[in-house]
Amino acid sequence: MTAHPVLRLSGITKRFGTTLANDAISIDLAPGEVLALLGENGAGKTTLMSILFGHYTPDAGTVEVAGAQLPPGKPRAAIRAGVGMVHQHFSLAANLTVLDNVMTGTESLWQLKSSTSKARRELLSIAERFGLKVNPDTRVGDLSVGEQQRVEILKALYNDAKILILDEPTAVLTNIEAETLFATLRVMAQNGLSLIFISHKLNEVMAAADRVVVLRGGKVVAERLAAATSRAELAELMVGRRVARPVREAATSGPILLEAINLDVGRRLSGINFAVRAGETLGIIGVSGNGQTALGHLVSGLVQHSGGELRLFDHAVNQTSVRALIEAGIGRIPEDRNAEGAIGEMAIWENAVLERIWEFSRHGLVDRRAARQFAAQIIEGFDVRGGTPDSRTRLLSGGNMQKLILGRNLQSRPRILIAAQPTRGLDEGAIAAVHTRILEARRAGTGVLLISEDLDEVVSLADRIQAIVKGRLSPPVPAEQADARMLGLMMAGDWPQDGTLAHAS
Amino acid sequence: MELLEIFASAGIWGAVLRIATPLIFGTLGALVCERAGVLNLGIEGIMTFGAMIGWLTVFSGGDLWVGLLAAAAFGALFGLLHAGMTVTLGLSQHVTGLGITLFASSLSYFIFRLVVPLASSPPTIEPFQPLVIPVLSTLPFFGDALFNQTAPTYLAILLAAILAYVLFRTPLGLAVRMTGENPHGAEAQGVNPIAIRIGAVMVGSALMAIGGAFLTLSAFNSFFPTMVQGRGWVCIALVVFASWRPGRALLGALLFALFDAYQLRLQAVLGKAVPYQLFLMVPYVLSIIALIVMARRARVPQALMQPYRRGER
């Protein structure tokens, strides 16, 4: 960089408990430059930007804007220095007008009258200059998501932002909206603004950025000019390494147990196709928030499909219910074990039988003895430590709670197991235990649908892999052919339309 | 057609304004709190305390206006208590509010009894007299109907206009509305939502207490512990009816007062044939109907009843 940087982050380090979210990160930003911060979830991108904007105080390191150091932990100081942030979750008030939202906090509170007409003129002129069309008097709640984002950007520009940070700006946008946004970013850069946008999507990074900084595990692992790199290189840099070869043994799969054909769930899943076979694991990878929850709920009977066909054991299913699916032999590990998997304040035995309470009732009363016995079997068989059938479930560690949930499902030999983020937040030992159980179930002929963000996990457990992106599923690829590059591309939503992924590059 | 002739008398319209005054103060007070995102169910108790302390101030020799000011000051103190628990500590706004109602009501009675031992009839003060406005007060019909009120009534109506201006035309009002809609957004724009909420709850509670004081200093001339009689709860409902807008709050209070004044006169006309309790019900039934019609279109402040904690989403 020959130009004097408008922004310089040096040696930023931030620790949350024992995890090192940012490890001595240094980045420069030149005037009029568009910088992409690329990295997987948990790579430390958002933490870094929160430090820059003053939401967090770093443990070490400094932020300099145009040569002057910013006081740590002071958003107001960041705003005044000309740093504007467009959050992934907008900080707008839906019931107020666009102008209200933009004007909040820009005038002295004790002024007797808001200079509304002056503000409206100024807003319109900014909107004009950057091609951000908006009606100042519309209620924000009546705007589309893309337009709301425009308001967020206008808010920053109205505050005289010189540096604009966008946190996963396309996460909530349609493709067309995203293209419009990138055109806007170009105009802003030409007007002398410097931009940083955070992303994990390779195509938009390549399309919109001048320079790309890749973060992994809280560290800067690479820095490339967009013109001098390729998607494939970035994919490998982001994921880190060729993903390790699977540890599962080869197996021959049986008949299709669960199948989705062109299936829609409202607007959350559209036209998805997948098939789970007996004795086989189908892995669904993807960055969270792309429809995994809807998919998990669909096959658990919590939501109904609105189009296409869902086939269970070779029969079309129209109306599903939780009870019908459990009775049909579907075991479920929900993605949020504390919210959906177990009730912390209730006893272990109660949580063990709650899903199939009808099997443990007699004459309308709970058969406590049978239930306690069942819980004891799970504790014994699945090595649940830290509790008896009568202790409160809240007292179990995450891993032991997960073993309890696994146990209550696998004890009755389900024909299909739905495992959503089964090892999220678990330590190494517990992960190994959960993986072992899932592989055992597969060996015994259960069809497993594994939904996970953890690439290593999917590659080591799954026979075939599909990626979920914005509610759509990629065609499946055999795990043997999956390398980091291809998985990175799949997760970025980059797959050919003809259904083949074998020679994607 | 006796039932409709009631509306032709000037007396009913004068009564409407009189009955509406405490409701206007109370509703505007609750509205200010809720616009900033805090439900204040302490209103019933704060009104009772305002009635007591206003009366006590005047009874001990203070001026009537000093009585109103004392009520406002103590109202603001209860507001500070409510804000301390719900805003600073982030406790449940329902539970805290109900607690304050119980506490303030009991405290009012306690203080009253300390000063006034049990007596067959409670001691009285000299209340506000109707303000004579030249020309207007002597108009036929309208003079009696509209311009024969005490000063606090005119103040209440003026206050609705002032609050509407502050909320919708000043940076402070915008900050209050933003805080009630999205305190995180307010914070991101450099507004301190905690300070805004504490301030709004104190101002709102002061208005509630003034509404209570009107009862002892203008509508009646003595204090008795049950005199607020659920007016606070009516105010909470009127805020919803008003869609959190001061102008409509004024309208709602007047409408409710009209029902109330009408039922009082209806008792006189039909009282022999129908038990009077049925008439007491009329304003409430009509209010519920009005609420059902209006409230479905109301736009609730999005952050109402959500405690704000910095850094949490």
> In chain A, what residues touch B298 (CB-CB under 8 Å)?
none
Give chain B's domain count.
1
Asked if residue B312 belongs to a domain, the reply is no
Q: For A104, which of B186, B311, B313 is closest by C-beta distance?
A: B186
- Count other Cβ atoms within 10 Å, centred on residue A161: 23
How far off is chain B from A10, nearest CA to CA, in Å? 24
In a structure prediction context, what are the per-residue pLDDT tens digits for chain A, which is 505 residues long?
A: 446 789 999 999 998 777 788 999 999 999 999 999 988 766 788 889 888 888 888 999 999 998 889 998 887 788 889 999 888 777 899 999 999 999 998 888 899 999 999 999 999 999 998 888 889 999 998 887 788 889 999 999 998 899 999 988 876 666 567 788 888 899 899 989 999 988 877 778 888 899 999 988 888 989 999 889 887 788 778 776 543 434 677 777 788 888 888 888 888 888 888 888 888 889 898 876 788 888 888 888 888 888 888 888 888 887 788 888 888 888 888 887 877 888 888 888 888 888 888 888 888 888 888 888 888 888 888 888 777 888 888 877 777 888 888 888 888 888 899 988 888 766 555 777 788 888 888 888 888 999 987 777 888 888 888 888 888 888 888 888 877 677 777 877 777 655 555 443 3
B184 touching chain A per CB within 8 A: yes
Treating both helix axes as pointing N-terminal to C-terminal, what angle do B93-115 and B43-59 enclose, rounded to 10 degrees?
A: 20
Q: Which CATH number does the domain housing residue B159 bear?
A: 1.10.3470
Question: What is the model's pLDDT at position A497?
Answer: 59
> In chain A, what residues touch B170 (CB-CB under 8 Å)?
111-114
Distance CA(A398)–CA(A40), nearest Å, equals 24
Q: In what order do the strands lie in the sheet with A7-16?
A: A19-29, A7-16, A60-65, A68-69
Are residues B170 and A114, on separate chains, in Cβ contact within 8 Å? yes
Q: How far is CA B114 from the centre of its chain?
A: 27
> In chain B, what residues touch A90 (CB-CB under 8 Å)?
185
Nearest chain B residue to A77, by CA: B190
Are residues A108 and B171, on separate chains, in Cβ contact within 8 Å? yes
Helix (H) or strand (E) holding A447: strand A447-451
Asked if residue B310 belongs to a domain, the reply is no
Count of pairs with CB atoms under 8 A, one residue in A, one in B:
77
Are residues B188 and A92, on separate chains, in Cβ contact within 8 Å? no
Range of B114's domain?
Answer: 2-118+128-295
Distance CA(B123)–CA(B119), nearest Å, equals 8
Asked if residue B242 belongs to a domain, the reply is yes
Interface test with A, best of B170, B187, B189 (most A CBs within 10 A): B189
**What DSSP character marks residue B86?**
I
Are residues B302 and A114, on separate chains, in Cβ contact within 8 Å? no
What string of H, E and C letters represents the secondary structure of A64-77? EECCEECCCCCHHH
A256-341+413-504 matches A1-82+162-168+194-239 in CATH topology: yes
Distance CA(A137)–CA(A97), nearest Å, equals 5
CATH architecture designation of domain A256-341+413-504: 3-Layer(aba) Sandwich (3.40)
Output the DSSP codes for A184-242.
HHHHHHHTT-EEEEEE--HHHHHHH-SEEEEEETTEEEEEEEGGG--HHHHHHHHH-SP
* Sign of the dihedral defined by the CA atoms of residues A32, A34, A35, A41, in that order: positive
How far off is chain B from A105, nearest CA to CA, in Å? 5
Q: Is A465 within 8 Å of A489 (Cβ atoms)? A: no
Beta A315-317 vs A307-312: how paired, if at all?
antiparallel
- Count other Cβ atoms within 10 Å, centred on residue A107: 17
What was the ipTM of the complex prediction? 0.87
Query: Where exactly are the structural domains of chain A?
Result: 1-82+162-168+194-239, 89-161, 256-341+413-504
Question: A478 pairs with which residues across the strands?
Answer: A464
Q: Which of A52, A40, A53, A15 is nearest to A221 (CA)?
A: A40
> In chain A, what residues touch B301 (CB-CB under 8 Å)?
95
User: Which residue is associated with the tokens 């319209």?
Assistant: B13
What string of H, E and C letters represents the secondary structure of A253-313? CCCEEEEEEEEEECCCEEEEEEEEECCCEEEEECCCCCCHHHHHHHHHCCCCCCEEEEEEC
Put simply, the chain B residues between 117 and 176 with a CB less than 8 A from any chain A CB are 169-172, 174-175
How far off is chain A from B176, nearest CA to CA, in Å? 10
- Residues of chain B falling short of pLDDT 50: 313
Question: A64 pairs with which residues across the strands?
Answer: A8, A69
What class has domain A1-82+162-168+194-239?
Answer: alpha beta
CA dist A163 to A5, A82, A102, A213, A326, Å?
11, 6, 17, 17, 53
Are residues A104 and B299, on separate chains, in Cβ contact within 8 Å? no
User: Taking CA B22 as the corner, what is the angle to CA B16 and CA B27, rounded to the nearest 5 degrees?
Assistant: 105
**What DSSP character marks residue A343?**
-
Are residues A105 and B190, on separate chains, in Cβ contact within 8 Å? yes
The pair of structure tokens assigned to A111 is 């002024």
Put simply, the chain B residues between 288 and 307 with a CB less than 8 A from any chain A CB are 299, 301-302
Question: What is the model's pLDDT at position A425?
Answer: 61
Distance CA(B233)–CA(A470), nearest Å, equals 48
Entry field: residues in chain A: 505
Half-sphere exposure of A439 (CA within 13 A, CB side): 17
Interface test with A, best of B35, B181, B191, B297 (most A CBs within 10 A): B181
Burial string for B260-299 (b: 16+ CB within 10 Å, else e) reads: bbbbbbbbeeeeeeeeeeebeebbbebbeebbeeeeeeee
* Sign of the dihedral defined by the CA atoms of residues B67, B68, B73, B75, in that order: positive
Are residues A93 and B177, on separate chains, in Cβ contact within 8 Å? yes
Asked if residue B302 belongs to a domain, the reply is no
Give the model confidence (pLDDT) of A431-451 as tens digits. 777 888 888 888 888 889 999
Are residues B177 and A100, on separate chains, in Cβ contact within 8 Å? yes
> In chain B, what residues touch A103 (CB-CB under 8 Å)?
171, 174
Interface test with B, best of A56, A85, A91 (most B CBs within 10 A): A91
Are residues A94 and B181, on separate chains, in Cβ contact within 8 Å? yes
Q: Is A214 within 8 Å of A200 (Cβ atoms)? A: no
Are residues A105 and B189, on separate chains, in Cβ contact within 8 Å? yes
> In chain A, what residues touch B174 (CB-CB under 8 Å)?
96, 100, 103-104, 114
The pair of structure tokens assigned to A64 is 């300099």
Q: Which of B198, B220, B237 is nearest to B23 (CA)?
A: B237
> In chain A, what residues touch B299 (CB-CB under 8 Å)?
95
> In chain B, what residues touch A112 (CB-CB under 8 Å)?
170
> In chain B, what residues touch A155 (CB-CB under 8 Å)?
189
* Sign of the dihedral defined by the CA atoms of residues A290, A294, A300, A306, in that order: negative
User: Taking CA A65 as the corner, what is the angle to CA A196 and CA A40, rounded to the nearest 5 degrees?
Assistant: 30
Are residues B171 and A95, on separate chains, in Cβ contact within 8 Å? no
Helix (H) or strand (E) holding B21: helix B10-35
Please, which residues have CB within 8 angstroms of residue B261's CB and are 6 or more apart in sequence?
A: B12, B15, B16, B19
Give the model confidence (pLDDT) of A463-491 as tens digits. 888 888 888 888 888 888 877 677 777 87
Distance CA(A83)–CA(A99), nearest Å, equals 20
User: Which residue is associated with the tokens 């008003």?
Assistant: B242
Distance CA(A403)–CA(A61), nearest Å, equals 41
Helix (H) or strand (E) holding B143: helix B142-146
Nearest chain B residue to A110, by CA: B172
